[in-house]
Amino acid sequence: MITTVLRTAIIYFFVVLILRMMGKRQIGELEPSELVVTIMISEVAAMPITDIGVPLLESILAILILVVLEIFLSYFAYRSTKVRTVFYGRPSMFYENGRLHQKEMRRQRFNVADLMEELRNNGAISLNQVEYVLMETNGKVSVLLESENSPVTPADLKIHTEPARMSYVLIDNGNLISGNLKRLGLDDIWLDKLLKKNKLKRPKDVFYLSVEKDTGNTVLIPREKEES
Amino acid sequence: MNRVVAAICILVLCGTFVGVHTYKIIRLNKDVTALCEEVEADFQKENWSGISGNLQKLRERWDKSRLWACLTIDTKEIEEIEISLKQSMKYAEVKAKPDFIGEFTLFRMRLEHIPHQEGFSMEEVL
């Protein structure tokens, strides 16, 4: 029983680290090769947990090889269009400038009901309202609305807007994030002054502190006292 | 790029591990085969003390490489090998000729299966 517990913990941390190494893309959206790797990793990782006769190292080795292959494949796909096309495919155009590509829809087994569902999901009720409908390589369908049916933007109304500014968190639940402090060109003296101004002694008394780049606007939320 | 470098490092480490492991298993197989041949020669001469001595040497040699074998071989297979060896030792002790040769042949087959399984062969791959 202890073996199972230990093996589960080892495999858990190992798979988390491995998925982290594979990058954010693999976690967010799955391309065919990434889906295969994810399924295979979950299968291989479960083997030594459910059957303690299976050596742990054998599964770890298999997972490492899968991840290495996936990293190499994504690296070559990034460098070469040909590799990308072979392993990840190309987007499929279903609808373009008033023309429905029925052959492509048939090839992707994408029926009219699916098309209508995607239109509705994107705020359109008819093909008249859209310019393009295409299926991305990860299977997600993108619907580009016709310009007259697209939501109005400040640019359409010729309204001048301020550029979006990045806000950096400096204190997260009492923990000072020194990297962000440096990134903003601020120092401990500035922080001490800010804390004193808010009648606080140290970063531990702050639950949340963020500073907006360029404007220097701060948001400070003191930490609530824990009930004993 | 960092990820690719890390992947290359992992690949090199995996390759090194596989290489060392294969070498250890091949060495084990070589030593064990030599000892098994001696046991069989002793068996022909019905030299039971020689058989017991060589079986003891086999046990020591196996214990030396046990950890390497355990890293990639199923616990069940390891247990089967050890049970076979123990039984062979017991049969040799009581000089049970037919039982000994049966069990010892099984032990040898099980042990020889390891390098076959760990090494590269098209049959295993397919």
Question: What are the angstrom distances between the C-alpha of B19 and each of A67, B16, B70?
Answer: 20, 5, 16
- On average, the pLDDT of chain B sits at 85
Residue B21: CA atoms inside 13 Å, Cβ hemisphere, count? 22
Which pLDDT score is estimated for B124? 60
Q: Which domains are seen in chain B, by residue range?
A: 25-125 (1.20.120)
Which pLDDT score is estimated for B87? 92
Measure the CA–CA gap between B108 and A174, rounded to whole angstroms: 65
Which pLDDT score is estimated for B126? 64
In the predicted structure, residue B117 carries a pLDDT above the cut 80: no
Measure the CA–CA gap between B61 and B30, rounded to whole angstroms: 11
Angle at B69 between CA B68 and CA B75, to 5 degrees: 130
Residue of A nearest to B77 (CA): A53
- Among B91, B29, B106, smallest CA distance to B62 is for B29
Residue A68 with chain B: CB contacts under 8 Å: 7, 10-11, 14
Residue B79 buriedness (CB in 10 A; 0-12 / 13-18 / 19+) = exposed
Based on the domain organization, do A68 and A101 belong to the same domain? Answer: no
Whole domain around residue A177: which residue ranges?
Answer: 167-222
CATH at A212: 3.30.240.20
pLDDT tens per residue across all 228 residues of chain A: 777 788 888 888 888 888 777 766 555 567 777 888 888 988 898 888 888 788 888 889 999 999 899 889 888 988 898 888 888 888 999 999 889 999 999 998 999 999 999 999 998 889 999 999 999 888 889 999 988 888 888 888 889 888 888 899 999 999 999 999 998 899 899 999 999 999 998 999 999 999 998 888 899 999 887 665
| A173 residue type, one letter | N
Based on the domain organization, do A98 and A81 belong to the same domain? Answer: no
- Among A16, A51, A142, smallest CA distance to A91 is for A142
Which pLDDT score is estimated for A28? 52
Based on the domain organization, do A201 and A134 belong to the same domain? Answer: no
- Among B113, B115, B111, B117, smallest CA distance to B55 is for B111
Residue B72 with chain A: CB contacts under 8 Å: 55, 57-58, 61
pTM: 0.71
A 12-71: CB under 8 A from B: 21, 23, 52-55, 57-58, 61, 64-65, 67-68, 71
Which pLDDT score is estimated for B125? 59
pLDDT digits (tens, 9 = 90+) for A189-204: 999 999 999 999 899 9
Measure the CA–CA gap between B80 and B86, rounded to whole angstroms: 10
In the predicted structure, residue B28 carries a pLDDT above the cut 80: yes
**Contact at CB, A65 and B14, closer than 8 angstroms:** yes
Based on the domain organization, do A8 and A80 belong to the same domain? Answer: yes
Contact B67, B59 (CB under 8 A): no
In-domain check, residue A119: yes
Asked which of A49-58, A96-105, B82-91, B98-107 is least confident by mean pLDDT, the reply is A49-58
Which pLDDT score is estimated for A3? 73
Contact A71, A22 (CB under 8 A): yes
**Residue bearing the bigger pLDDT, B69 or B123:** B69
Alpha helices by DSSP H, chain A = 2-22, 24-28, 32-50, 56-79, 81-88, 102-107, 112-121, 178-183, 188-197
